[in-house]
């Protein structure tokens, strides 16, 4: 930048800088990366997610030293870690608690992005990388869930993998390929172990690096949704509404880390099972292929999607087919589609309505579960709001966000419960609301009276 002086490093650091851009990387991504100065509480969770990733990798390395991926020895090796390995119980509880806390901070991180429009232009790729991280994290958690080889590990994996058999034509072969056997067995344990320990972590780390690089290329969003790069700049060309990430936000994040570690430690030392939500009681029983638990449910962070899976019954497909036909008529007569798309989209929706009554409901349950995650990738192109931040949207938009959050939490609760007619009806209503929130976003996101967005960010010093 104009007016800045380049200081050449000397000594060991200078020797490294001549061979590796250590100082320039630190400046680019820390000390000279200017972030908006109005970050609030919601901006803790990105750095906390990175912290939990490090915790999971480090504790995982120590667990692998004593874990045996063998159908006859896996459960006993976990017990050995808990009872015989010095501090093994602490490492195992850090890892199991870390898995749940990872999803806590990631869900809150995603919620912040939803509130402040962090997925909007020019940050579409940042959001897509983030959603790819979330998808990998789900795969990592699912495969790690099998490794303790307890009753819920075994039967949970059996149920979820069997779902793939509902896919037409390739389903049975696909589920057989995933398991490596006709039932969940030692072969399944070994391949899940390999993916959990090596393959997915490597992909996850690569995506995290890409996510951060993409973020720093376009700059961070803020609660006002104002681009500080487009605002006034100082003599050195830095935005006046920004401050260097280091030391200001590195110290800011340390406060968030301290608070998080207090909660994290409290759970580990006083309630690592969290009432059976973080560690299910049935998983302290060795896997038995001849004894099925009375109620099989995934871990809490999968239960909202599991509820949507269970909600799709043969009767409910009539409702979905009707919704698809109504959407086809609305898109043809009231949609903003032009050219060939005006006819193509309604025809596709009519075809979907026919297939909903033709294909097995179990298949559509799998589609709903997968679609509930995949639809999040398209959020940047579904939101037509003229403003980014929830601060400047109509008040009833906030009410819609509140309904969405409550419905997601209710779906999570329903997924932990044994199915009943009442719970199933609630899951079906929740599924309609969940998908309606996103599929109707191009319509409702542009409606209402929007508040004027300030030219510069609003900031009040602490």
- What 3-state DSSP class applies to 227? coil
CA distance 27 to 24: 5
Instruction: For residues 197 and 304, give the distance between their C-alpha atoms in angstroms, rounded to a whole number.
Output: 26
Q: Find out whether 96 and 272 touch, Cβ atoms under 8 Å.
A: yes
Distance, in Å, from the CA atom of 325 to the CA atom of 453, rounded to the nearest integer, reads 39
Residue 310: closest CA among 140, 426, 164: 426
Q: Which residues are annotated as a binding site for a ubiquinone?
A: 216
Judge if the upstream peptide bond of residue 228 is cis by omega within 30 degrees of 0.
no
Show binding-site residues for heme b.
95, 109, 196, 211
Residue 111 and residue 316: Cα distance in Å, rounded? Answer: 29
Greatest Cα pair distance in the chain: 75
d(CA 4, CA 154): 61
Q: What is the CA radius of gyration of the chain?
A: 25
Would you say how long the chain is, in residues? 462
Hey, what are 156's tokens? 């949970």
Q: What is the DSSP string of 223-290?
A: TT---GGGS-B-TTS-BTTEEEIIIIIHHHHHHHHHHHHHHHHHHHHH-TTGGGTSS-GGGGSB--TT
Alpha helices in 84-234 (DSSP H): 88-116, 124-146, 151-163, 171-179, 186-194, 200-218
């Amino acid at each position: 930048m104009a007016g800045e002086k380049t200081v050449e490093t000397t000594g060991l650091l200078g020797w490294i800088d001549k061979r590796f851009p250590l100082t320039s990387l630190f400046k680019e991504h820390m000390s000279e990366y200017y972030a908006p100065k109005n970050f609030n509480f919601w901006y803790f969770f990105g750095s906390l997610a990175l912290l939990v990733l490090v915790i999971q990798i480090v504790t995982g390395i120590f667990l692998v030293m004593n874990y045996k991926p063998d159908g006859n020895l896996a459960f006993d090796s976990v017990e050995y870690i808990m009872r015989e390995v010095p501090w093994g119980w602490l490492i195992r509880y850090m890892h199991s608690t870390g898995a749940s806390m990872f999803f806590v901070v990631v869900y809150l991180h995603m919620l912040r992005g939803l509130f402040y429009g962090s997925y909007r232009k020019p940050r579409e790729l940042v959001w897509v990388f983030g959603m790819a991280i979330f998808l990998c994290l789900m795969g990592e958690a699912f495969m790690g869930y099998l490794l303790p080889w307890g009753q819920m590990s075994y039967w949970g994996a059996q149920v979820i993998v069997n779902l793939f058999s509902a896919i037409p034509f390739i389903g049975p072969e696909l589920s057989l390929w995933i398991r490596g056997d006709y039932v969940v067995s030692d072969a399944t344990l070994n391949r899940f172990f390999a993916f959990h320990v090596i393959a997915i972590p490597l992909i996850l780390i690569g995506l995290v690096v890409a996510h951060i690089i993409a973020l720093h290329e376009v700059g961070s969003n803020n609660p006002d949704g104002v681009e500080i790069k487009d605002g006034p700049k100082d003599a050195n060309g830095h935005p006046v509404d920004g401050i260097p990430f280091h030391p200001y936000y590195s110290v800011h994040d340390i406060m968030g880390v301290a608070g998080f570690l207090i909660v994290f430690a409290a759970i580990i030392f006083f309630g690592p099972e969290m009432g059976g939500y973080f560690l299910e009681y049935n998983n302290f029983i060795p896997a038995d292929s001849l004894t099925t638990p009375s109620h099989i449910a995934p871990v809490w962070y999968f239960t909202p999607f599991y509820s949507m899976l269970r909600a799709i019954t043969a009767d409910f497909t009539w409702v979905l087919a009707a919704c698809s036909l109504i959407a086809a008529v609305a898109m043809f007569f009231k949609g903003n589609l032009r050219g060939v798309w005006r006819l193509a989209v309604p025809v596709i929706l009519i075809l979907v309505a026919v297939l909903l009554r033709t294909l097995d409901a179990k298949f559509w349950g799998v589609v709903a579960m997968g679609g509930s995650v995949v639809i999040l990738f398209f959020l940047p192109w579904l939101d037509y709001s003229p403003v980014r931040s929830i601060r400047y949207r109509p008040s009833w938009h906030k009410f819609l966000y509140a309904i969405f959050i409550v419905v997601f939490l209710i779906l999570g609760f329903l997924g932990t419960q044994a199915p009943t007619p009442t719970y199933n009806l609630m899951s079906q209503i929740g599924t309609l609301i969940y998908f309606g929130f996103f599929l109707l976003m191009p319509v409702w996101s542009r409606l209402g009276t929007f508040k004027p967005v300030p030219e510069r960010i609003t900031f009040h010093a602490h």
